[in-house]
Amino acid sequence: MSESTRQRILQAAIELAREKGLGALSVRSAAAAAGVGPTTLRNYFPTQALLHSAVTAEFVSVSMSDRNIADSSLPAAQRLAECLEQFLPSKRDPMAALEGWMEYYRLSFGPDAAHGVRDVLVNGRRSSANAIERWLLLLREEGHSLPAVVTEQATMLLALIDGLHLAMLTEPERLDVPAAQQLLRTFIATSVLVETDAPTGRSGRARSRGSA
């Protein structure tokens, strides 16, 4: 078997999942996208579950971008929001992305659950939490009012993102992607980074506008 053929199939499957969601990814659709027959695809991915697992593993391996989180010239809440918005679906085809998100959980915990997909989901959640904790700790090092241990804040933000996904999926007429982004920004500004005149110093006291 050719590694280049496997990579071509995997890349075509990844692009298909990105465009239409994981729910649209099947042996036949992936084979057609890669320009090979279903039998050829099964030589590399014998089951649909293994194909899904390979695609989701590739998604997880691409770490979240830190974007402008280290640019202290920008408001901290804005920087954190821009990082977290990476977890929301794109505006181009949000429903396909949301359906794929739901399919991801179905394949992890539903009647057709595949342990490989579940492992990737769990590892992906862990990687996401680690990225959020990293962003929060960086802001804390700048002097913003955040606790020394930010695990709870990361868990809370992931739970909010999951809730936004579910609301957009079930009530799209009430919540679209721009509205979800605004809710996320509002939550960060009012519940995570409640800014005073300036970030707090190492001593934990807020610096005044006139301090050096």
Where do the domains of the chain lie, and which CATH numbers do they carry?
3-60 (1.10.10), 64-192 (no CATH)
63 pLDDT tier (thresholds 50, 70, 90): low
The fraction of the chain above a pLDDT of 90, given in percent, is: 57
User: Given this model, what pLDDT does residue 124 score?
Assistant: 83
CA distances to 39, 136, 185, 192, 212 from 75, rounded to whole Å, are 54, 13, 12, 13, 19
Residue 208 predicted with pLDDT over 80: no
The reported pLDDT for the residue numbered 207 is 38
- pLDDT at res. 175: 98
Residue 108's pLDDT band, with cuts at 50, 70 and 90, is: confident
Quote the mean pLDDT of the chain: 86
Confidence of residue 112 (pLDDT cuts 50, 70, 90): confident
CA–CA gap between residue 173 and residue 180 (Å, rounded): 12
Burial 135-146, CB ≥16 within 10 A → b, else e: bbebbbeebbbb
Amino acid 34: pLDDT: 96
Q: Is the pLDDT reported for residue 88 higher than 70?
A: yes
Residues 6 or more apart whose CB falls under 8 angstroms from that of 126 comprise none
Name which residue leads in pLDDT, 12 or 23. Answer: 12
Q: Examine the pLDDT at 147 and tell me if it is beyond 70.
A: yes
Render pLDDT for 7-18 as a digit per residue (tens, 0 to 9).
999 999 988 887
Please state the pTM of the whole predicted model: 0.75
pLDDT tens for each residue of 34-57: 999 999 999 999 988 788 878 877
Quote the pLDDT of residue 206.
Answer: 40
Lowest mean pLDDT among 98-107, 134-143, 152-161, 166-175: 98-107
Predicted local confidence at residue 42, as pLDDT = 95
